[in-house]
């Protein structure tokens, strides 16, 4: 911190820097996008003893009246006293905030500040977050670059265009599927889906949030959960129609019976997203924010908006498109032991192969290094490329280099070379010199130190453990401890199984891949809770039969919902995989594998543990208030 000279502008214009002051500058853009530079003379050091490390809290916020971005900050006792002296004697003067020798902001002191205050001005939310971070994390040493990226405009545009195209086609495909399967009810679901996405994107724009790969993961899961909530309702309505109710009674009962399922399924996922949002960093935090907003929007559109639409058209006698269905009678639990042993054997094989691959299974995000993406006219073999690197730079570098070709999202195939930290430039020069006929053109280079993503990995792991504990507590409270253990086991199974399949596929663990793995948690717990809720309902209804028979019946009753939700999520993820291009190829593969494993585990893994822990006997929740008949009365149409 430092006070700005009262005559700073004139002194700088005349090229004068008074003793005890130092000039700092900041490059900004005007509303038209033109760059300009602010320069100020700052008293160094300040004589009031105010230091950056005396700030105990700083965060971006918005003015409740104008919604303009601002920064809220709080000092500790020592800092509050120093700030009180500085601001009390200099009301009306500007105070500069300096980070690593660079001017971050120079707000005017409006009044004396002793403990907490706020910084307001003409800046965007992203700039407010940057300034808040600078206040909360003062540096005592100069910055060292841990990650650096350069991207040619053509590559960036290609990635953006392919991502938009894939997302759009995915939403359209899901909408067509719902329309064909449900007809009028599908139109209602599609309306809710579009409204859900509008709310989600609107909130993200309000927060000045950039759409990243983790954000796309959150949107894909949001699409799945938005459709799932509607499918839950529609399938319950179809069950009521099968029992002989008219459409009015079926709609009322269907919404009432689906309510607790939707709340439980969404709240358990919301627990995960909120923890990731507040504890995560980087891609983890971005995923948490997107998913949190998406869950809230999907609950609103499913429980409120679609009900209003149904009630409106019901009065006009519109064809709802919902027909009674027959439920399969299968002994799902009879396959549980075989499924359990087979799936965990596959987990051991996949994860074991990941350990066998060692550093090859870790992307540049986690082991550090340089990754160069190259366009070419004439393709060369991997052996030719590696031999050239070996001749120019030595066998050690050549042997450690990872060389692969991949699609860029369009028709242009690209060469990607990953080498040790700092060796990217000379590797490209060696290849360019060795193969002039290939006409190599470097379109991007990523240089990263492993420490950044290691921090992301540690934070994600810590967040995951806390989220699993929170789910354990919530499911125990709402259901029973064995149900909570089953849900946790299913989540762990899905993460490990998906990672194993990914390693066998040849994928590398990276920060975006981690975000996709977090998506699997949300899908897994959502899928599991839907089945658990039906088991709980049937137990409380006092249905006859053994616990195994009741579990088989509950799975059968929710099977159509499970298949439809999985299909729609697979459609969205498949669109990203086949149309999204190289930038999100691995990311989308994780989503595809995760949806399949999540569907499998919700049927065979989670329920199996509940059954085995209770030794085939009905758990205690079955001894609670038993309902011998439907508690929701509905009028017959």
Taking alpha carbons only, the member of 421, 417, 407 closest to residue 374 is 417
Helix (H, G, I), strand (E, B) or coil at 416: strand
**151 is a domain residue:** no
Of the listed ranges 127-141, 256-270, 460-474, the least confidently predicted one is 127-141
Task: State mean pLDDT over 296-306.
Answer: 88
Residues 302 and 396 in one domain: no
**426 is a domain residue:** yes
Q: What is the share, in percent, of the chain residues with pLDDT greater than 70?
A: 79
Angle of CA points 153, 155, 156, to nearest 5°: 65
Both tokens assigned to 243: 């029992």
Q: What is the share, in percent, of the chain residues with pLDDT greater than 90?
A: 10
Residues 435 and 523 in one domain: no
Q: Which of 49-53, 196-200, 398-402 has the highest mean pLDDT?
A: 196-200
**pLDDT higher for 330 or 602?**
602
Task: State mean pLDDT over 293-307.
Answer: 88
Q: Indicate if the pLDDT at residue 369 is higher than 50.
A: yes
Residues 301 and 436 in one domain: no
For residue 112, CA distances in Å to 73, 183, 192 come to 14, 65, 50
Beta bridge partners of 27: 37
Residues 197 and 75 in one domain: no
What domain count does the chain have?
Answer: 3
Name residue, tokens 């004139």: 10
Report d(CA 165, CA 468) in Å as an integer. 35
Residues 548 and 404 in one domain: no
Beta bridge partners of 39: 25
Q: Indicate if the pLDDT at residue 99 is higher than 70.
A: no
**167 is a domain residue:** no
Residues 312 and 396 in one domain: no
Q: Indicate if the pLDDT at residue 502 is higher than 90.
A: yes
pLDDT of amino acid 120:
74
Task: State mean pLDDT over 600-605.
Answer: 91
Residues 6 and 108 in one domain: yes
**pLDDT higher for 158 or 68?**
68
CATH of the domain at 102: 3.30.1360
DSSP string, 24-53: EEEEEE-TTS-EEEEEEEEESS-TT---GG
**pLDDT higher for 348 or 312?**
348
**159 is a domain residue:** no
For residue 120, CA distances in Å to 28, 112, 279 come to 16, 15, 26
How do residues 610-628 score in pLDDT, each as one tens digit? 999 888 888 876 444 433 3
Task: Name the pTM for this structure.
Answer: 0.67
Last residue of a domain, one of 448, 463, 490: 448
Residues 487 and 615 in one domain: yes
Q: Indicate if the pLDDT at residue 355 is higher than 50.
A: yes
Please, which residues have CB within 8 angstroms of residue 106's CB and are 6 or more apart in sequence?
4, 38, 40, 94, 95, 96, 97
Residue count (the chain): 637
pLDDT of amino acid 586:
79
Q: Indicate if the pLDDT at residue 181 is higher than 60.
A: yes
Residues 405 and 468 in one domain: no
Residues 343 and 388 in one domain: no
Label residue 70 by pLDDT band (50, 70, 90).
confident
How do residues 213-245 score in pLDDT, each as one tens digit? 666 767 776 787 788 888 888 888 888 887 777
Task: State mean pLDDT over 586-603.
Answer: 89
Q: Indicate if the pLDDT at residue 135 is higher than 60.
A: yes
On average, the pLDDT of the chain sits at 78
Last residue of a domain, one of 408, 427, 448: 448
Q: Indicate if the pLDDT at residue 629 is higher than 50.
A: no
Q: Indicate if the pLDDT at residue 310 is higher than 90.
A: no
Residues 335 and 462 in one domain: yes
**162 is a domain residue:** no
Range of the domain at 531: 183-323+330-353+452-623
Q: Indicate if the pLDDT at residue 186 is higher than 60.
A: yes
């Amino acid at each position: 911190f430092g006070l700005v000279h009262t005559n700073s502008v004139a002194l700088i214009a005349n090229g004068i820097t008074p003793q005890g002051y130092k000039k700092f500058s900041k490059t900004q853009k005007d509303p038209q996008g033109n760059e300009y530079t602010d320069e100020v003379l700052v008293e160094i050091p300040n004589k009031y003893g105010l230091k950056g490390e005396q700030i105990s809290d700083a965060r971006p916020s918005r003015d409740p009246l104008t919604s303009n971005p601002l920064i809220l900050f709080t000092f500790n006792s020592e800092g509050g006293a120093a700030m009180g002296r500085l601001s009390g004697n200099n009301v009306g003067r500007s105070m500069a905030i300096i980070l690593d020798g660079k001017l971050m902001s120079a707000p005017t002191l409006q009044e004396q500040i002793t403990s907490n205050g706020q910084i307001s001005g003409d800046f965007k939310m992203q700039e407010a977050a940057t300034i808040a971070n600078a206040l909360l994390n003062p540096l005592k040493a100069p910055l060292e670059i841990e990650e650096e990226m350069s991207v040619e405009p053509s590559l960036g545009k290609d990635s953006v265009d392919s991502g938009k195209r894939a997302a759009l086609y995915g939403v359209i495909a899901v909408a067509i599927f719902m329309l064909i399967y449900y007809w009028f009810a599908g139109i209602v679901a599609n309306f809710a889906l579009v409204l859900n996405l509008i709310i989600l994107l609107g909130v993200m724009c309000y927060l000045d949030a950039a759409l990243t790969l983790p954000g796309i993961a959150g949107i894909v899961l949001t699409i799945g959960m938005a459709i799932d909530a509607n499918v839950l309702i529609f399938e319950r309505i179809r069950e009521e129609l099968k029992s002989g109710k008219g459409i009015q009674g079926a709609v009322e009962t269907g919404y009432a019976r689906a309510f607790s399922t939707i709340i439980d399924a969404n709240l358990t996922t919301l627990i995960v997203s909120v923890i990731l949002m507040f504890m995560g960093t980087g891609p983890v935090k971005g995923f948490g924010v997107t998913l949190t907003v998406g869950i809230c929007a999907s609950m609103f559109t499913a429980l409120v908006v679609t009900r209003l639409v149904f009630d409106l058209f019901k009065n006009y006698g519109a064809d709802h498109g919902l027909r009674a269905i027959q439920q399969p009678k299968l002994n799902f639990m009879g396959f549980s032991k075989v499924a359990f042993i087979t799936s965990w054997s596959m987990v051991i094989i996949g994860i074991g192969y990941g350990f066998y691959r060692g550093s090859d299974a870790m992307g540049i995000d986690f082991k550090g290094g340089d990754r160069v993406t190259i366009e070419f006219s004439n393709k060369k073999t991997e052996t030719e490329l590696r031999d050239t690197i070996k001749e120019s730079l030595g066998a050690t570098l050549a042997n450690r280099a990872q060389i692969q070709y991949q699609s860029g999202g369009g028709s242009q195939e690209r060469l990607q070379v990953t080498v040790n930290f700092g060796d990217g430039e000379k590797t490209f020069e060696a290849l360019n010199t060795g193969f002039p006929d290939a006409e190599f053109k470097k379109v991007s280079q990523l240089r990263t130190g492993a420490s950044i993503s290691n921090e992301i990995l540690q934070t994600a792991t810590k967040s995951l453990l806390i989220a699993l504990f929170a789910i354990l507590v919530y499911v125990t409270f709402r259901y029973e401890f064995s149900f909570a253990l089953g849900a946790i086991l299913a989540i762990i199974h899905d993460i490990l199984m998906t990672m194993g399949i990914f390693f066998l596929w040849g994928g590398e663990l990276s920060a975006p891949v981690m975000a996709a793995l977090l998506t699997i948690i949300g899908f897994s717990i959502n899928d599991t809770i839907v089945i658990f809720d039906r088991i709980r309902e049937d137990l409380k209804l006092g249905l006859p039969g053994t616990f195994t028979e009741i579990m088989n019946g509950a799975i059968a009753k929710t099977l159509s919902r499970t298949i439809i939700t999985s299909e729609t999520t697979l459609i969205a993820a498949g669109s990203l995989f086949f149309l999204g291009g190289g930038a999100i190829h691995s990311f989308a593969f994780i989503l595809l594998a995760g949806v399949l494993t999540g569907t499998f585990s919700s049927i065979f893994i989670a329920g199996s543990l509940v059954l085995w822990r209770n030794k085939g006997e009905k758990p205690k929740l079955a001894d609670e208030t038993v309902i011998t008949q439907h508690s929701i009365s509905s009028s017959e149409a």
